[in-house]
Amino acid sequence: MDRAELIKVRLDLVKRELGTTELVAVSKSTDIESIEYALESGQSDFGENRIGDLEEKAIFLKDRDITWHFIGHLQSNKINRLLKIPNLRFIHSIDSLKTLENLYKKEEHFNGDSLGFFLQINTSQEEEKQGFSISNYDELAAAANMISRMENSNFYLAGLMTMGKIRTEDFEKDARSCFKSLVKVRNTLKRDFELPPMKLSMGMSRDYIIAAEEGADYVRVGTNIFKPEEPHH
């Protein structure tokens, strides 16, 4: 099986497992040719976590029908650069009130029609992770208030994002707990604020099936699609 066929088979398998959940194919560790194979197989949404890599791939593929999702940590000094990238439609990693403020301040640099962003929630409360803390609702409430006031912006709240627990002795239980926590945060925000419908971005290569079962609207999967073919023994 050649590389193009392998990518198509893997995409089809992941999509069958996901049902109605949308797949963001994480292309951060692969090349442009492999992304083109995925495009030809009907995949249109791709995720990158480094602005330089995203820039290079997006410029090369700017005339294709492609949707880019930025899924990495967003540094404030790189927002201008990110917003100029062609076909950027979503940012999954607005991880603090300050980052949200800086995003709105830089809106004049955005070249597209509209840009959806996800507030990143640290549901596992692990220190090495970025994100709004689930134990500090005040900061999240301040973000929701800010979003409610931005009526004429081309930026809109697409939803909430989280990741499963990194350090765990019961992988499935902890993943489900993180994903259920995100659903609770969304329900609380819906109750307390006038916000647009919020989608959930949660689940990666090792836990995307669990995420889909817990109500994910988007999962971010790369390894299962783009990993090199295992050698035959």
Give the C-alpha separation, 122 to 47, whole Å.
20
The answer on pLDDT for 231 being more than 60 is: no
Look at residue 230 in the predicted model and tell me its pLDDT.
Answer: 57
Checking if the pLDDT of 85 tops 80, the result is yes
DSSP letter at 74 equals -
pLDDT digits (tens, 9 = 90+) for 89-121: 999 999 999 999 999 999 999 989 999 999 999
Domain limits at 56?
Answer: 3-226
> Other C-beta atoms within 10 Å of 37: how many?
22
Answer whether residue 231 is part of any domain. no
Asked whether residue 218 is assigned to any structural domain, the reply reads yes
CA–CA dist 142, 228 (Å, integer): 44
How many domains does the chain divide into? 1
Report if residue 232 sits inside a domain: no
Is residue 129 a part of any domain in this protein? yes
Residue 12 makes CB contacts below 8 A (sequence gap 6+) with 41
Instruction: Tell me whether residue 233 is in a domain.
Output: no
